[in-house]
A and B are shown apart, each in its own frame.
Chain A
Amino acid sequence: MAADPIVPPPAQSLLDRVQRHYNDQPDAAALIFIAPDGSEQVISTRQFFDHAARYANALRSAGVAPRQVVILVMEHNTALLYAFWGALMIDAIPSIFPFLSDKLDSALYFARVKLLVTHSGASAVIASEAFAAQLAVLLADHEAVRVLSEAQLQPTDSDPHFATDIRTDHNADSIAFLQHSSGTTGLQKGVALSHRAVLNQLDSYSAAIRLSSTDKIASWLPLYHDMGLIAGFVLPITQGVPLILMSPFHWVRDPKSLLAAIDRHRATLCWLPNFAYNFMAMRISATAAKTFDLSSMRAFVNCSEPMSADSHRRFAARFPTLNPAALTTCYAMAENTFAVTQGGIDRPVTIDVISRPELNDRQRAEPIAASDSLPETASLEMLSCGTPIAGCTVRIVGEDGSAYPERHIGEVAIQSNSLLSGYYRRDDLSAQAIRDGWYFTGDLGYLANGELFITGRKKDLIIVGGKNLYPHDLEAIAGGVAGVHGGRVVAFGVPDERLGTEEIVIVCEVDSDNPDERAMIEQQIRARVAQQADSSVRDVLLVGARWLIKTSSGKLARAANREKYLRHLITESMS
């Protein structure tokens, strides 16, 4: 069958676009949802949007008006998908909140939902059954906020019909939805995206990945994160490409289920954070790996944390039916809706071997010939993120905002037609991030032959398995443990080469020499980081007073303490 490139007619809103699929291909599969027990539910385009229309109707009946925010506190299941589109249909602004995990403290979790509801001025919360009652109690003092449970959204005889009963006269510049960036304390930043920005992104990105009517997208990614929300949900549904979806909880426990689904459905596209390549290569035996036919895959797209050529090699070596040229790369962020660049679609991803001393000492990316005689510390293998998608311009800038020439390391700044409208109700933050029409990403990198390479980041951030964590949040959590001096705690990331991601290390100054007390402090730090930040700490190092390095202004220097910690590990391993 010849592939029809997806060239959509002009649309004002996401709803105009999906209405076309609803009319033209109502019986085509929109979604194949795989439950944790392996059972599959195939949902046609008509079924999908008629289900969503029930949510639209229920929200409208509950008094939710256009332009009001609706927070979705739901498990990763079909109801969440319908609720999202239902809110869009009535021109409300949906925002997906991460679901409560095994680690997180539930009281704290609900307090965060409440904070988000208050701050965003949300008019409704749609919650999974288990949460609705608790949330209703918690939000009782917010008279304007309705808490709806999934049970209240069951089908009835008077259900609306998407094609005839749902208005679609949305304004292209009004906000379609919010993506909430992670962050454990204080207010989360809600990235507000207009219909126009999202449609621009979907069209430019579809062209960059050569999306066609023969594609099928497989995903396990969470929907509160830009990669899962856009590539693993909004893109396929809006462009009329079938989505094969499972939950992150399912995949992490049974990673081969994703590959089995790709094989069974002949999927062609899948987005993954870098650690997922190592994780699947490690966790799926060589014997099992050979049984999956991955030859249908056009592209696995590596995105959302630092990428490594080694992760690609491990994955390709483990899965012999995969065409290695299908290992592609992308640089993306919620603030640009999703993708900024894409690499590896028409030709293999560029690997740039550069001099490590030149990078460290002169902030230059000097190419050097790979050679066995060079020590490993002399060179660095950089995986290209590819070239900017249409409508997006990338430049590398210095501290003063001036543009740098190729192969000079600076901050990545972007200009684009899919940028955020602003951080929702945070004009102060919007003004900081967007200056003269450029969005400053906080990432460091360089351009070479028009391709973007990311070398590090200016902002203090730890990315664990694609999830962003802020060191100051972790330091505040650890600083609250009895026996730890508040303000004498440092958190940073160290590379986890096995898993191809970063791990959290926390170093704190304590006075106690008592081993039982110290063991208790360590245990408390680990437990609190799990409960409050939903993350595991790789190492807790308790040190005596004055171990931590401070800057001249008295602040703790994370980078210097990270170096000191790494030296400490080497000394320990030698003694």
Chain B
Amino acid sequence: MNPQEARDAIRRYVTADLMRKPNYKLDDNAKLISGGLIDSFSLASLAMFLEETFNVNPDNTDLNAEHMDSVTMIAEYVAAHGG
């Protein structure tokens, strides 16, 4: 998957599966956790998605606003961890 495709896949997953609002126009820099778009229950799902889709297995200590607070940040995390 090239970086743009990865970003699209992450955005689709966040809006359709985590927010359950597939038509939501999500900006890639919108704050997901601190902006109230996803809740903490979503973080375990996000970890499963990253593992299944990109073979990236985030440490549970990285599943926070410091590393995963926007589509851009998640895409960068995936790229930095070999996904």
Contact B60 A526 (CB under 8 A): no
Contact B60 A537 (CB under 8 A): no
CA distance A530 to B38 in the complex (A): 9
Does A535 lie within 8 Å of B36, measured CB to CB?
yes
CB contact under 8 A between A530 and B34, given known A36-B61, A253-B47: yes
Residues of B within 8 A of A529 (CB): 36
Is A499 close to B, CB under 8 A? Answer: yes
B9 interface hit (Cβ, 8 Å): no
Of B34, B43, B60, B65, most buried by chain A (CB within 10 Å of CB) is B60
Interface size on A, residues (CB 8 A): 31
Task: Tell me the complex Cα distance, A257–B65, Å.
Answer: 21
B44 proximal to A (CB < 8 A) = yes
Pick from A101, A275, A283: contact of B45, CB under 8 Å: A283
Q: A254-B60, A519-B25 are in contact. Are A102 and B44 (CB under 8 A)?
A: no
User: Which A218-255 residues have C-beta < 8 A from chain B?
Assistant: 249-250, 252-255
> Does B37 count as interface, using CB distance less than 8 angstroms?
yes
Measured CA separation A526–B39 after assembly (Å): 11
* Residues of chain B lying within 8 A (CB to CB) of residue A483: none
- Interface pair B60/A523, CB less than 8 Å apart: no
Chain A, 497-528, CB within 8 A of any chain B CB? 499, 519, 523, 526-528
**A102 B64 Cβ-Cβ under 8 A:** yes
CB-contacts of A518-575 with B (<8 A):
519, 523, 526-531, 535-539
Contacts of B41 in A (CB 8 A): 252, 275, 279, 465, 499
The interface on chain B, measured as residues whose beta carbon lies within 8 A of the other chain's beta carbons, has a size of 25
What residues of chain A lie closer than 8 Å to B40, measured between beta carbons?
101-102, 249, 252-253
Query: Contact: A102 with B34, CB < 8 Å?
Result: yes
Q: Which residues of chain B come closer than 8 Å to A252, judged between CB atoms?
A: 40-41, 43-44
Per-position contact with A for B35-59: 1 when CB-CB < 8 Å, else 0? 1111111011101100000000000
Residues B30 and A103 in contact, CB atoms below 8 Å apart = no
Question: Which of A245-284 touch B at CB < 8 Å?
Answer: 249-250, 252-255, 257, 275, 279, 282-283
**Contact across chains for A253 and B44 when beta carbons are under 8 A apart:** yes
* One of A36, A103, A253, A283 near B34 (C-beta < 8 A): A103
A143 at the binding interface (Cβ < 8 Å): no
Cα A283 to Cα B44 in complex, Å, equals 7
B73 within 8 A of A: no
- B50-83 CB mask vs A (1 if < 8 Å, else 0) is 0000000000110111000100000000000000
Within 8 Å by CB of B36, from A250, A255, A465, A537, lies A537
Kindly report which residue of chain A lies nearest to residue B31, judged by CB atoms: A527
Flag if B34 contacts A255 (CB, 8 Å).
Answer: no
Given A102-B64, A253-B60, A523-B30, A536 and B37 touching (CB < 8 A)?
A: yes
The reply to whether B33 and A103 contact each other, CB–CB distance below 8 Å, is yes
Flag if A531 contacts B34 (CB, 8 Å). yes
* B63 neighbours in A (Cβ, 8 Å): 253
Q: How far is the CA of A535 from the CA of B38 in the complex (A)?
A: 9
Question: Given the interface contacts A253-B43, A279-B41, does A527 sit within 8 Å of B60 by beta carbon?
Answer: no
Residue of B20, B35, B38 ringed by the most chain A CB atoms within 10 A: B35
CA distance A279 to B61 in the complex (A): 19
**Contact across chains for A526 and B37 when beta carbons are under 8 A apart:** yes
Inter-chain contacts of A36 with B (CB < 8 A): 60-61
Question: Which residues in A have their C-beta under 8 angstroms from that of B64?
Answer: 102
Report chain B residues within 8 Å CB of A283. Answer: 44-45, 48
CA distance A250 to B48 in the complex (A): 15
A26-54, CB under 8 A of B: which get 1 and which 0?
A: 00000000001100000000000000000
Contacts of A257 in B (CB 8 A): 60
Q: Which of B21, B41, B44 has the most CB of A within 10 A?
A: B41
Enumerate A95-115 residues with CB–CB distance to B below 8 Å: 101-103
Tell me, in angstroms, the Cα distance from A250 to B40 when the chains sit together. Answer: 11
Q: Name B's A-contacting residues (CB within 8 A).
A: 20-21, 25, 30-31, 33-41, 43-45, 47-48, 60-61, 63-65, 69
Leading 3 A-B pairs by shortest Cβ distance: A530-B36, A526-B36, A536-B39
Q: List 18 A-B contacts (CB under 8 A).
A: A37-B61, A101-B40, A102-B65, A249-B40, A252-B44, A253-B44, A253-B63, A254-B47, A279-B41, A523-B30, A526-B35, A527-B34, A529-B36, A530-B33, A530-B35, A531-B36, A536-B38, A538-B20
